[in-house]
Amino acid sequence: MTPVEAARAALAADRTHADPAIWITRVPDEAVLERARTLEKEGPRGRALWGVPFAVKDNIDAAGLPTTAACPDFAYTPAESAPAVQRLLEAGAILIGKTNLDQFATGLVGTRSPYGVPRNVFDAKLVPGGSSSGSACAVAAGIVPFALGTDTAGSGRVPAALGNIVGLKPTVGSVSASGMVPACRSVDTISVFSHTVDEALSVQRVIAGYDPADPYSRLAPYAHLRRGAALPQARVAVGDIAALCEPEIGAALDTAAAALGARKTEIALFLEVARLLYEGPWVAERTSALRAFMQAHPGSLYPATRTILELGLERRAVDAFDAFHLLAQARRQAAALFADYDALLLPTSPFCPTLDDVAADPLGPNRRLGTFTNFANLCDLAGFAVPIGFCSNNLPIGGVLLGPAWSEGRLAPLADALHRRFVQTAGATGQALPAAAAPDALAPDETALFCIGAHMSGLPLNQQVTALGGRMLREAATLPEYRLYALGNRPGLVRAQGGGPIAGEVWALPTAAIGTLLAQVPAPLGFGTVALQDGPCLGFLAEQAGVQGAPDITGHGGWRAWLSASRS
């Protein structure tokens, strides 16, 4: 579509869906079209999101539009947009409006707003999920291709699950939080809703970046948003949590886990930390962000929001330190988990409450919705929420793939493949998903490395590669000019006459990290130029003297085949 066609389509979809509770402030139609006409006249100019309509959660500033955080008495009109919004506008995107939310982003149900409750796109009797309710519903209804939300306890993931869309929860600090009304300032992040993983990743590439004005902003250690290829041997853990879910959700998770070859792991400590977000010291952090307003305008708060914020005034410092020590244990467990696994699979939410459920118990259903999401930001994880099926009543089911901080690009192909295996339609539109994206090509600041042994995907030393920012490019094989030897827990590759083709994987690493990886490689191994069937590449080689007397395993064609044969 041209920008004008895209803008008209978004406005028409909004009229057709006819849910005013999605919006707190809608940009007037003529202003939307004028922006589109200007963009169309200018042409793309290399702008990544030229002419793409989008929406913004109304706790994120957009210049000239009120920021309410779903509290009319709190409202102000910013002169400048939040950096994330400004980056989108500079990339050519078209802002359609500011969306509804659980007041001050405190909630996961999507019902805590004086501006109404956005309609669940699959069943109006159900909650839409929150706190980014309006943004998720705008994408699920097909009004906009993407929208910004925020995520503290799962606000960028739970409503994605209930709308059959993708929710990208970035690494905390990777996107500037300047111009965002904080919930829990130390663990908040702006998030992205879209129809596919790759669309979310493309938006994230635009909005991510270090901001010295944001004290919680972090410099990325490498270009973490480059998409890798699907791993031939992905290692996925799955939480042993079926008893905590509704039966059909538990069954869908089991099916997804089987498709990924996932192994069950214990996550009790993570679930214990999850409870602290609404019951521990981070409730006080929410109160800290809004204490002055709460005390000056107690009658302006939505009842459930006020109840939660008042709880923060009762928290004790000694309990906070108990919680911090528990969180340190959980972060250590997460580090150990991701040393052995590429991703952790969980349900996005264990159930979906009705509006009547929440009216009868304003706090209980909300607490349960965050069972599998509350701990992720506290433990410094990144992840994608993706659709993984439907219940018998045609309601969507979501799953989350989590990884360590800065793992979004490596998680993307795994999350995208999981999504497409079980669901092929976007939101509630019935439209087919666009084709999957290809891995990003080798960048100028990267070096391709041919891995032949334990550094390959799914094997014990692969974490040394991924920890340095490595991403899978492709499977490959050498010319038939090499011999392979078994050197205990790793192979040695030597160029020799009478050899054969040896299978391996080509990984892209930041060039600056090649020396760091080489320093971890013991003799007689090192790096040299390896002749692959598709051209030369830096790769692992062994000194000729270092393989003397070692078993020659060339006939197996590669280290994986040798490992398989030696086990059988």
Spatial contact of 409 and 221, defined as CB atoms under 8 Å apart? no
Burial of 98 (0-12, 13-18, 19+ CB in 10 A): buried
Residue 116 lies in a domain: yes
Residue 181 lies in a domain: yes
Residues 540 and 406 in one domain: no
- pLDDT at residue 1, as a whole number: 92
- pLDDT at residue 165, as a whole number: 98
Three-state DSSP state, 412? helix
Q: Give me the residue label for tokens 């706090």.
A: 363
Q: Give the domain-ending residue among 389, 422, 455.
A: 422
- pLDDT at residue 279, as a whole number: 79
Q: What is the pLDDT of the chain when averaged over all its residues?
A: 96
- pLDDT at residue 518, as a whole number: 97
- Give the residue among 148, 162, 153, 155 at the shortest CA–CA distance from 96: 148
Nearest-10 Cα torsion for 214, 180, 381, 468? -40
Burial of 279 (0-12, 13-18, 19+ CB in 10 A): middle
Q: Give the domain-ending residue among 363, 387, 422.
A: 422
Three-state DSSP state, 503? strand
Q: Which of 543 and 283 is assigned the larger pLDDT?
A: 543
Please say if the pLDDT value at position 567 is more than 90: no
- pLDDT at residue 379, as a whole number: 98
Residues 488 and 411 in one domain: no
Please say if the pLDDT value at position 53 is more than 80: yes
- For residue 478, what pLDDT band results from cuts at 50, 70 and 90? very high
Residues 41 and 166 in one domain: yes
Residues 30 and 68 in one domain: yes
pLDDT digits (tens, 9 = 90+) for 365-376: 999 999 999 999
- For residue 313, what pLDDT band results from cuts at 50, 70 and 90? confident
Spatial contact of 94 and 55, defined as CB atoms under 8 Å apart? no
Q: What is the CATH classification number for the domain harbouring 37?
A: 3.90.1300.10
Residue 499 lies in a domain: yes
Residues 418 and 450 in one domain: no
Q: What is the CATH classification number for the domain harbouring 505?
A: 3.10.490.10
Mean pLDDT, residues 82-97: 98
Q: Which residues 6+ apart lie within 8 Å of 318 measured at CB?
A: none
Residues 502 and 356 in one domain: no
pTM: 0.96
Percent of the chain at pLDDT > 90 equals 91
Residue 127 lies in a domain: yes
Q: Which residues pair with 189 in a beta bridge?
A: 151
Q: Which of 81, 132, 155, 191 is catalytic?
A: 155
- pLDDT at residue 308, as a whole number: 87
Residues 54 and 130 in one domain: yes
- Vertex 233, ends 227 and 239: CA angle to 5°? 90
Integer-rounded Cα radius of gyration of the chain = 25
> Whole-angstrom Cα distance, residue 383 to residue 292?
34
Q: Which two tokens stand for residue 455?
A: 């550094």
> Whole-angstrom Cα distance, residue 526 to residue 276?
47
Listed range (136-145, 311-320, 390-399) with the worst mean pLDDT? 311-320
Query: How many domains would you assign to the chain?
Result: 2
Spatial contact of 422 and 394, defined as CB atoms under 8 Å apart? no
> Whole-angstrom Cα distance, residue 423 to residue 401?
16
Residues 123 and 18 in one domain: yes
Q: Which of 567 and 520 is assigned the larger pLDDT?
A: 520
DSSP notation for 423-481:
--B-TTS-PBPPPPPPPPPPPTTEEEEEE-STTSTTSTTHHHHHTTT-EEEEEEEB-S-
Mean pLDDT, residues 42-69: 98
- pLDDT at residue 474, as a whole number: 97
Q: Which of 81, 98, 113, 131 is catalytic?
A: 131
Question: Which helix (H) or strand (E) covers residue 113, if one does?
Answer: none
Distances (CA, A) of 455 to 23, 24, 302, 337, 540: 49, 51, 53, 17, 10
Residue 327 lies in a domain: no
Question: Which helix (H) or strand (E) covers residue 536, if one does?
Answer: strand 535-542
Residues 488 and 402 in one domain: no
Residues 417 and 478 in one domain: no
- pLDDT at residue 14, as a whole number: 98
- pLDDT at residue 309, as a whole number: 87
Mean pLDDT, residues 421-428: 97
Mean pLDDT, residues 12-34: 98
- pLDDT at residue 150, as a whole number: 98
- Give the residue among 402, 5, 447 at the shortest CA–CA distance from 170: 402
Residues 365 and 474 in one domain: no
What angle, 0 to 180 degrees and rounded to 10, lies between the N-to-C axes of helices 281-296 and 268-279? 20
Residue 417 domain boundaries: 3-223+346-422
- pLDDT at residue 242, as a whole number: 81
- pLDDT at residue 249, as a whole number: 97
Residue 457 lies in a domain: yes
Q: Which two tokens stand for residue 99?
A: 């969306």
Residues 36 and 93 in one domain: yes
Active site residue 57: yes
pLDDT digits (tens, 9 = 90+) for 215-233: 999 999 999 999 999 999 9
Quick one: the chain helix, strand, coil %, rounded to 5?
A: 40, 20, 40
Q: Which two tokens stand for residue 131?
A: 């706190």
Buried b (16+ CB within 10 A) or exposed e, 217-255: beebebbbbbbbbebeebbbbbbebbebbeebbbebbeb
Residue 253 lies in a domain: no
- For residue 568, what pLDDT band results from cuts at 50, 70 and 90? confident
Residue 153 lies in a domain: yes
- pLDDT at residue 289, as a whole number: 87
Mean pLDDT, residues 328-342: 97
- pLDDT at residue 74, as a whole number: 97
> Whole-angstrom Cα distance, residue 71 to residue 19?
19
Please say if the pLDDT value at position 82 is more than 80: yes
Q: Give the domain-ending residue among 361, 390, 422.
A: 422
pLDDT digits (tens, 9 = 90+) for 343-363: 999 999 999 999 999 999 999
pLDDT digits (tens, 9 = 90+) for 260-294: 999 999 999 999 999 888 878 888 888 888 888 98
